[in-house]
Chain A
Amino acid sequence: FSLSGCRISGDGKPAKFQPPPKPVIVDKQKQREQRRFLSPEFIPPRGRTDPLKFYMERKDMIQRRKVFNIPEFYVGSILAVTTADPHANEKTSRFVGICIQRGGKGLGATFVLRNVIEGQGVEICYELYSPRIQAIEVLKLEKRLDDNLMYLRDALPEYSTFDVNMKPVSHLDYEEIPVNKLRVRMKPKPWSKRWERPKYNIKGIKFDLPEEKMKEAQKWSQPWLEFDMLREYDTSKIEEKIWKEVSEELNK
C-alpha cells in the first residue's frame, strides 16, 4: 500500500515521486584529524634565544608525555590532580578545581586550579611536567569567554565552588569544545584588580556598575595597541612545524 497515488499536487494531476533527501554522512574520522590541539607551552616565546634550546626542551616534554598522559584542557575546564606528597596520609593528595590560568613555557609550564572548600577559597599552582604529579583527570572539558579567570577571586564564591566528588562529564572526541558563556557576578568593590578597565579585556563579568564608572574606565583604553606592529607575534607557521614534530614523535 503506497500513498503516492493519494498525493495530489496543485494542478490536480498525480504528484511526481520525490525521492527522500540523501543522508549526509559526516566523516567523524576526518573531523578528528582536522581538530588539532597543541598545548600552549610548546610555542616558544618571542625572543632571540637559540631555537636549539626550545628543541631540546620539546624533546624532554615529549619524553615525559610518552610516559605520563597530559590531557587536553583549557582555562575554564574542571580538573582533578593527584600528586605525590610525602606528608599526606596515603602519600597522595587529590585536588579538584577550575583552571584559572595557564602560564609558563617549556618544562616550567604551570596551571592554577581554584576551588572553594568549606567556605575557604584555595588555589594551587601545579607544574605540568613535575614528576610529583601522578594523574591529571579532566572532569569537564570546556572553555570560557576569557583566557584568564583571575577575576573569580573577586566574584561571588558560588562561581568557584566545585564538588570534590563530581563525576567526569563525558566529551566525545570529534565534538567541538563547548564555550561556557557564563557571565559572573562580582562581590562589591574594592576588587584586587580593576577588572572593568579595558586593559584586562574581560568579557565574562556581568558588571553592575553605573554607566559613568564604565565610561570612566574607558579613559584608560589604549586603542593604538592592537595596531602596534612591533608587538605582533604570528605563531601560525611555528605552530604548524611544532605540531608536525610533536605528533610524529608521539605517534611513534
Chain B
Amino acid sequence: MALLNRRLGLSFTHLSSTVIQRHFSITGACRAIQKLTRVRVVDNSALGNTPYHRPPKCIHVYNKTGVGKVGDKILLAIKGEKKKALIVGHKMPGPTMTPRFDSNNVVLIEDNGNPVGTRIKTPIPYILRQKGEFSKVFAIARNFV
C-alpha cells in the first residue's frame, strides 16, 4: 500500500476524509440488570472495593424473566470469583414515587442472605422492605430514600 502510494505520488488522506462515516445505531440499553451488565458494588466489603482490571458483571439473574429489578438476587463475577448479590437500585425508571439511581447499585450477599460488608453509605430505597427478608441489609444501611 505504501509502495503504491510512492509510485503514484499520491497520498490517500484526501480520500479517507470523503469516506462516509457509518454511525452505528445501537439499541437502547435495557437499563435494568440482566446478564453481562456491569454493576457497582456499594458496600464496604473488601471484594467489592479492591480494584481489579475488569468491572464486576452480572452472570445470572435469579428470576423467572432474566431481568433484575430492585430486590432481586443476582450472581456476580468479581475478581474471578462468583458471588451472589442483591440489587438495591438501577438506572431504569420504576413505578412512580420510587427512586431512580444514576448507577446500577448492588450489595454483596452470602447464600443465606447475610451481607458481606459492614456498612452501606449510598441511599437504599424504602421499597426494598416489601420484597423479601433483607433485614440484615437494612441494619447496615445508613441512608434511605
Residues of chain A at the chain B interface (Cβ within 8 Å): 83, 85, 87-89, 93, 95, 110, 117-127, 130, 132, 153
Contacts and interface: CB of A to CB of B under 8 A. Distances in A.
Given A93-B144, A95-B145, A87 B123 contact: no
Given A95-B145, A117-B145, A124 B126 contact: no
B100 A120 contact: no
Contacts, number: 63
Interface stretch (B7-15, B55-63, B72-80, B90-98): B90-98
Contact of A124 (B100, B130, B144): B100
A125 B101 contact: no
Contacts of B42: 120
Given A87-B127, A110-B96, A127-B96, A119 B122 contact: yes
A199 B58 CA distance: 36
A121 B102 contact: yes
B103 interface: yes
Given A117-B143, A120-B103, A122-B145, 16 more contacts: A87-B127, A87-B128, A87-B129, A87-B130, A93-B145, A117-B122, A118-B143, A120-B122, A121-B103, A124-B98, A124-B99, A125-B93, A125-B100, A126-B96, A127-B97, A153-B102
Interface string B87-128: 001000100111111110100000000000000011100111
Nearest to B121: A118
Contacts of B97: 83, 124-127, 130, 132
Nearest to B131: A87
Contacts of B100: 122-125
20 contacts: A83-B97, A87-B127, A93-B126, A110-B96, A117-B122, A117-B145, A118-B143, A120-B42, A120-B102, A120-B123, A121-B103, A122-B100, A122-B101, A123-B102, A124-B97, A124-B98, A124-B145, A126-B96, A132-B97, A153-B102
Nearest to A121: B102
Interface residues of B, number: 23
B25 to A, nearest CB: 13
Given A93-B145, A117-B145, A85 B96 contact: no
Contacts of A117: 122-123, 143, 145
A127 B98 CA distance: 11
Nearest to A83: B97
A122 B96 contact: no
Nearest to B128: A87
**3 A-B pairs with least C-beta separation:** A121-B102, A87-B129, A87-B126
B101 A121 contact: yes
Nearest to B123: A117
Nearest to A164: B143
A146 B89 CA distance: 29
Contact of B105 (A83, A110, A120): A120
A118 B88 CA distance: 15
B144 A122 contact: no
A93 B128 CA distance: 14
Contacts of A88: 126, 144
Contacts of B143: 117-118
Given A93-B144, A120-B123, A125 B102 contact: no
A85 B128 CA distance: 12
B36 to A, nearest CB: 19
A122 B103 CA distance: 9
Given A117-B143, A120-B105, A125 B126 contact: no
